[in-house]
Structure 1
Amino acid sequence: MDQRAEHILDCIINQYVTTAEPVGSRALSKLLEMKLSAATIRNVMSDLTDMELICQPYTSAGRIPTDKGYRYFVNKILAIEETKEDTKPIKSLQESTQGQSKQLPQRFEDILLAATRELAQITNCTSVVMSPQPAVSRLKKIELIPLSLTQVLVVLIMQSGMVRNKIVHFRETPSETFLTRLSHILCVYFEGRTISEIRTSLIEKLSQNSETNQESLPLAIRLGKKAFDIEDQGDLYIFGRSNICGFPEFSSQQTLEIIFRAFDDKQALVSFFSDVMDIEGVQIRIGNENKTHDLDQCSVLATSYGNKENLLGSIGVVGPTRLNYSEVISAIDYSSQKLSLAVSQFLD
């Protein structure tokens, strides 16, 4: 694509993002910095249409960007962002949040909720945060508590601050003395190990332990396997669902129902926000790039958060394809850094 066509495409996208109205050649002639005739502009717009970068929503209307057009535009932004220095470096974030460390919430979940709420307010989109995935979370402590003659409560406390509770069932609950001793053994062997690592080495470690006699070993292994058999996916925290209603492209009830169905089902978002953890930088799916039809009118943007030792989870937004991508990318990147610092302070 030549520079003139690229400039016209940028102008169409920027104007459409601002007004949510199709952009015609007459409007472009007034907006463009370079002086071009209306006929020249129309010819370039025709070429961009043939390239499927813009389209005409209805007869006699101007042009609007397609998903492919947005992708071309966003790739340029991402290329520029890679060459720029961070406008809000971690050092300045540390200074700005230094006085807030004493005011950190007591629960890790409250930190995630605060980050989700703030990102929704900054971007005016629906924000999403995925909590640390249990499989890659590191164990801090485990408690085994008898509830009844047939039930044991398992409490897994992660180094990230997350807590997982589950009830396991037995024909006959082991004695409280046995549960206390097994809790101690599991903590000694597996503190600081990920849940995934624990599952892999559980049988071997318990078999080697001198405190576990041969009679109680099968019960210890069975209880251990049940205790660490937890879902690998983190929890999703969604805030600002009503923000979606403020965009004109989502004015119909049918469209809103489809999008809210994706929020309620969560599977498509869980898949994307899990994938993001393995890739550096803000990741973006635009329109039909999403793996579910329910989100094919939306853009989903996310990045990971965490520290040098662990990538804990991911944070991002869901909005229309008609976004100010540069601003939203910066907001997500800033929120990720801020959340990472808050998590580090919480863990310290």
Structure 2
Amino acid sequence: MLDDRARSLLKTLVERYIADGQPVGSRTLSKASGLELSPATIRNVMSDLEDAGLIISPHTSAGRIPTARGYRLFVDTMLTARPLDLAGSASEFAAARGQLQPDQPQRVIAQAAQLLSNLSSFVGVVTAPRKASVFRHVEFMRLGDKRVLVILVAPDGDVQNRVLFTAHDYSQGELIEATNFLNAHYANLSLEEVRERLQGEVEVLRGEIGVLMHAAVKAGSEALAENEDQVIVSGERNLLGVQDFGHDMGSLRKLFDLFEQKTQLMRLLDTSSRAEGVRIYIGGESRVVPYEELSVVSAPYEVDGHVVGTLGVIGPTRMAYDRMIQIVDITSKLVGNALSQR
């Protein structure tokens, strides 16, 4: 537990380091804190903060910088929200609202990632909306000898096409019969519900209809699987200009590997989607993205009241967390509103 004096000095030190990127010395801290303390007293408090693992002294400077633990304490207990103050941010958000076309969800996601990157000057990431495993309409079309096109239409209008290779050469009449039967009895059910009902009703169904229905469910499940785990990343090159990374090629290489593989990012963002509001991972706190130099600010976004994806900003631990929180929060609402208009 820190007393008020130590908390005030830690808060000032973190804010100064975020703003300037330079280790903070006792003289600077004395002026910036506004506390009437002697340099010796400040040095003693800084020594206590260092012993607590909240700040460290780089080799090349007598000043101190925050540790990941120091940033965490700052974010959790000292961060004060303030109006978003970014040059041009209001116009960028207004422009983004007009550009996020609800009839083009992939474009919405790509533009949201770019918006996050532009406003933060770091990396923007957005997971594509998870598809509902429900179909509104299905249609079978004959393509030729033992080839059938199955068309699945989701409630949001999304269309998935799959070519089925069948053991039997179905006529178009048989395919129309299967189409009408499936839409009449199974439309607006989830694929899992359809699968369960098919298992119970297989004796009732005529052979070819049952086979086609099983094939349609399998095709729908495959289509959903392909659409999952999609994450859009924008602004990776911004990290090349970040002072904290610019001279550490090893860290940069690890980060670019992360953005390339995306699997770890998906796991992190999936975890974030189960939390309410903005979530912050600082300096390797997450086992999913265990990089000491990296922080992630993320939030889920909703469509019609249901969480369908996550977005966020990835950058150095030395970031303006209050500003990133608001960028992420506002963008999540913009994306949710755009996609809810479908």
Query: Which range, TM-score by smaller chain?
Result: 0.7 to 0.9
The question of whether the paired residues in 2 share the 8 Å contact of 1:287 and 1:296 is answered with yes
Secondary structure of the residue aligned to 1:114 is: helix
1:264-283 residue pairs with structure 2 within 5 A? Answer: 264-283=260-279
User: Which is further off, 210-219 or 331-340?
Assistant: 210-219
1:90 corresponding residue in structure 2: none
Q: Given the alignment, which residue of 220, 226, 230 partners 2:213? A: 220
- Extract unaligned runs of 5+ from structure 2: 86-93
Q: Given the alignment, which residue of 219, 228, 234 partners 1:233? A: 228
Give the counterpart letter for 1:63 in structure 2: R
2:312 corresponding residue in structure 1: 316
- Extract unaligned runs of 5+ from structure 1: 88-95
For residues 152 and 296 of structure 1, the distance between their equivalents in structure 2, rounded to whole angstroms, comes to 53
TM-score, structure 2 as length reference:
0.83
After superposition, the C-alpha distances for 1:217-262 in whole angstroms (9 at most, x for unaligned) are 2453244234323427341111111111121111132221110000
After superposition, the C-alpha distances for 1:133-157 in whole angstroms (9 at most, x for unaligned) are 23x4543444445556465555444
Percent identity, aligned pairs only? 30
For residues 173 and 73 of structure 1, the distance between their equivalents in structure 2, rounded to whole angstroms, comes to 68
Mapped pair 1:243 → 2:238: yes
Instruction: Go from structure 1 to structure 2 and tell me whether the alpha carbon gap of 1:60 and 1:224 turns closer, same or farther (over 3 Å shift).
Output: closer
For residues 157 and 63 of structure 2, the distance between their equivalents in structure 1, rounded to whole angstroms, comes to 53
2:115 corresponding residue in structure 1: 118
Secondary structure of the residue aligned to 1:289 is: coil
RMSD value, Cα? 3.5
1:109 corresponding residue in structure 2: 106
For residues 334 and 195 of structure 2, the distance between their equivalents in structure 1, rounded to whole angstroms, comes to 36
After superposition, the C-alpha distances for 1:67-92 in whole angstroms (9 at most, x for unaligned) are 111111111267x66xx9999xxxxx
User: Which is further off, 307-316 or 26-35?
Assistant: 307-316
Secondary structure of the residue aligned to 2:284 is: helix
After superposition, the C-alpha distances for 1:296-321 in whole angstroms (9 at most, x for unaligned) are 32111211112344212111111111
Give the counterpart letter for 2:42 in structure 1: I
Mapped pair 1:254 → 2:250: yes
For residues 47 and 265 of structure 2, the distance between their equivalents in structure 1, rounded to whole angstroms, comes to 36
1:91 corresponding residue in structure 2: none
Give the counterpart letter for 1:237 in structure 2: I
After superposition, the C-alpha distances for 1:4-41 in whole angstroms (9 at most, x for unaligned) are 11111111111111111111112111211112111111
For residues 198 and 84 of structure 2, the distance between their equivalents in structure 1, rounded to whole angstroms, comes to 46
TM-score, structure 1 as length reference:
0.82
Give the counterpart letter for 2:280 in structure 1: I
Mapped pair 1:12 → 2:28: no
The question of whether the paired residues in 2 share the 8 Å contact of 1:108 and 1:160 is answered with no
1:297 corresponding residue in structure 2: 293
Deviation at 1:190, TM superposition (A): 4.9
